[in-house]
Structure 1
Amino acid sequence: MQRVNIQAIEQQATVTLAAWSVFEVQLPHEAAPTWHLCGFRLETNRGKVSSAISAFDPYTARCITRSGNVYELYGNPGANADALATRGVWLRMNQVQHDLDVTPAFLAYLQQGGQS
């Protein structure tokens, strides 16, 4: 399981995701699996997939990704057809053969304060 830093994230979100989920992949250029957000971006009304999650604030429901974007998770996890289609394209572009939904593990990890 990827270790996600738990930290206060006070920056304004640049992306707000509804109907979000978290998935794990092994990218060809990475030594270890990474976790990514997928959801429906409210600012653009389109699906969105993030770069690898690097930190999460359970109090503000915000994540920082490796690219430096700040994501705010809106509402509960869920699914959206456009987000799932975007995820499929992202997986093909990144030559990923297998992905794993880790949303329940992500939620449990956060409830435990980042302890594995």
Structure 2
Amino acid sequence: MTVWNVASIDDRPELELVRWRIMRTNLGDMHFVGCETLGHNGRVSSTITDFDPAVARGFTRSGRVYLLSGPSGFYPAAQYVWTRWCEVNKVSAFVDISLDAVPKSRDRISS
């Protein structure tokens, strides 16, 4: 698998993820990890700066808006990108906080 740069914020200011997770690193920052609906590629966001669990919408340091659709879940391509991202950014540990951050994520229906 290959990892590449993403479209600019100007080109894609908003992005929808399915089979998403929210990861907290040993450095204390949090990231969205999941499958983007356009192209079905694995995706890792920059650091989350604001998140509203009631509407499953978050903002990241880059300025991009992420919409989390459906329940949290695992997506192999997203896991691959996350693993590579952790290696590049020297993240030695992380925890999946998806169910703590969005407790009702299991009950939500994909749009």
TM-score band, normalised by shorter chain: 0.7 to 0.9
Deviation at 1:44, TM superposition (A): 2.4
1:20 is aligned to 20
1:65 is aligned to 60
Query: Counterparts of 1:59 and 1:106 in 2: how far apart (Å)?
Result: 10
Query: How many correspondences in the alignment?
Result: 92
Deviation at 1:54, TM superposition (A): 1.1
Cα deviation digits, residues 26-62 of structure 1 (max 9, x gap): 34xxxxx011110001112100001111112334321
What are the within-5 Å matches in structure 2 for residues 45-84 of structure 1? 45-84=40-79
Deviation at 1:13, TM superposition (A): 6.0
Q: Which moved more, 1:77-86 or 1:52-61?
A: 52-61
What secondary structure is seen at the aligned counterpart in 2 of 1:86? helix
Among candidates 6, 30, 38, match of residue 35 of structure 1: 30
1:90 is aligned to 85
1:38–1:49: 8 Å Cα contact kept in structure 2? yes
Q: Structure 1 unaligned runs (5+)?
A: 1-11, 28-32, 109-116
What secondary structure is seen at the aligned counterpart in 1 of 2:42? strand
Normalised TM-score (structure 2): 0.75
- Give the percent of matched residue pairs that are identical in Structure 1 and Structure 2: 32
Normalised TM-score (structure 1): 0.72
2:30–2:48: 8 Å Cα contact kept in structure 1? yes
Distance 1:99 1:59, change over 3 A: closer
Q: Structure 2 unaligned runs (5+)?
A: 1-11, 104-111
Q: Kindly report structure 1 stretches of 4+ aligned residues shifted beyond 4 Å.
A: none
C-alpha RMSD of matched pairs (Å): 1.7
Distance 1:17 1:93, change over 3 A: same
